[in-house]
Amino acid sequence: MGLLRFGVKNCLQYRQMHLLKNQAYVNGQWVKAGSNVVFSVNNPADDSVITEVPDMDASDAKNAIQAAASTFETWKNTTAKERSQILRRWFNLCEKNTDELAKIITAESGKPLAEARGEVAYGNSFLEWFADTARHINGEIVPSPWPNKQILLTRQPVGVVSVITPWNFPFAMITRKVGALMAAGCTCVIKPSEDTPLSALAAAELAEQAGVPTGVINVITTSRKNAPSVGKVMCEDDAVRCISFTGSTQVGKTLYGLAANGVKRVALELGGNAPFIVFPSADIEHALDQAMLAKFRNNGQACIGANRFLIHEDVYDKFVKGFKSRIAQKCILGPGTKEGVTCGPLINNQQAKKVSSLVDDAISKGAKALVGGKFATELGNKYYESTLLINVKQSMSIFTEEVFGPVATCLKISSEDEALKIANSTRSGLAAYVFTKDLGQAFRMSNKLEFGMVAINDGIISAAEPAFGGIKESGIGREGSRHGAEEYTDLKYTLMSCLDK
């Protein structure tokens, strides 16, 4: 009877979400899959079914791409001012519906409501930013080497963009990409993660209300089973000119290979293995506060999340003691809807198994868990305790792989050179964090760290204004900033000749 009451309560809760959609969005219509097959979207907090959505296949993807391609022929000719106004209306509606969007994000991703609201604010900032940026995607007039000729460089939209987004920030990763490509004059087909398609559908509903023209935004939903065939179409269809993907390096490489067949533009934001480096001159209390943000935001499920804590031997004991205390006091596990919870469940069983396996492997090889290190089984099967590991060796998998979970590993360092050598000993190159009051050291580290983004004395690096992205195997291209919009443009050279006649 208790389970029955719990299930009824959840059903009522889900039905009250007025932005909750259970159909895909193609060419301005809410549609089913051609096969009429559906799959369930579950709440990771308790495995309850939120709703069912269409399980679309390759043919459905082709239809969506054709809709985007048809609309592109008119959308590309709209003025920057028109696109700016539409994006501004979309931003205003998303702001107005922050709480409703947050409820959906929490339901399908498990993150606490407060953090979900933070994601909505972050996601909305991209719509606001690109509403402004749309009117500042400029070309150039280049001084000509010939007296009777003029050189013009103009930016034109690339065309249809395939947008493939992850589950960890299901709303913000869409607005960051779609806001940019719309500002540039492109159209798109979005395939959200099978774990979190509902945020994308809610965003599409608000885009429709904002007056985004039919076919500019299309959202197709697909299960893990159909994802490879759908992804292949989204990368290889002749009408697609760019693939924008955020996710794992492994999947990114696959999509990159598919895109190569048509020599298509790619914007890839892939995995990271961020170092968090603390030197003796650092404000240790501040570094600890920022460590909590850099590591345990979204329960560690963030590509820029700090993985490897490289702490100078002079402050190692103080830092580890303070870190342990903060984790024990401030990391509160539970369902995202519960007041006071700061860390929700991991997204799915596969992710939970990965995190647990990495920790177990490290402990079996000599690492020690000062706090955490196991599942909180009294809460459910995907709640993993916030964990601090010491005695970690560089050869351990947990040190070389992206954990994507609430596990911090501490390693003692003795010099700046050692910190650089260890930090750069990865094929990833997304984000790095450095804590020091030595200005010269700060500049040296920024210059020598092989990462696309370096934060000095800060644990939060993301915003709409800077250029977000990595180097090495962490991706290609940049998101946010004006560069984020320019990713979706082609630079055309026009030579104007015979100007003296």
Average pLDDT over residues 50-76: 98
Write out pLDDT tens, residues 178-220. Answer: 999 999 999 999 999 999 999 999 999 999 999 999 999 999 9
Q: Does the pLDDT value for residue 409 go beyond 80?
A: yes
Which residues in 14-149 belong to E strands, given as ranges? 24-26, 29-31, 38-42, 49-54, 140-142
pLDDT at 1: 32
Amino acid at 403: V
Question: What is residue 49's predicted lDDT score, i.e. its pLDDT?
Answer: 96
DSSP state string for 214-243: TTTEEE----TTTHHHHHHHHHH-TTEEEE
Helix (H) or strand (E) holding 275: strand 274-278
Rounded CA-CA distance 60/46 in Å is: 31
The pLDDT of residue 162:
98
Q: Quick one: CATH architecture of 8-270+476-490?
A: 3-Layer(aba) Sandwich (3.40)
Q: Is 165 left (phi over 0), alpha (psi -120 to 50) or beta?
A: beta
**Residue found under tokens 């779609």:** 178
What is the mean pLDDT of the segment spanning 133-155?
A: 96
The residues carrying an active-site annotation are 269
Can you give the pLDDT at residue 9? 58
- pLDDT confidence tier of residue 13, bands split at 50, 70 and 90: confident
Q: Per-residue confidence at 501, pLDDT binned at 50, 70, 90?
A: confident
pLDDT digits (tens, 9 = 90+) for 396-406: 999 999 999 99
Span 478-495, pLDDT tens digits: 999 999 999 999 999 999
Say if residue 2's pLDDT is above 50: no
The tokens for 262 are 């048509």
Tokens (6 digits) for 55: 């399980």
Rounded to whole angstroms, the Cα distance separating 49 from 54 reads 14
| Residue ranges covered by each domain of the chain | 8-270+476-490, 274-464
Which pLDDT tens digit goes with each residue over 192-203? Answer: 999 999 999 999
8 has a pLDDT exceeding 80: no
Contacts of 259 (CB under 8 A, 6+ apart): 235, 236, 243, 265, 266
d(CA 139, CA 137): 7
**pLDDT exceeds 50 at position 6:** no
Task: Let me know: does 179 contact 150? Beta carbons within 8 Å.
Answer: no
Q: Does domain 274-464 have CATH number 3.40.309.10?
A: yes
pLDDT tens-digit series, residues 87-138: 999 999 999 999 999 999 999 999 999 999 999 999 999 999 999 999 999 9
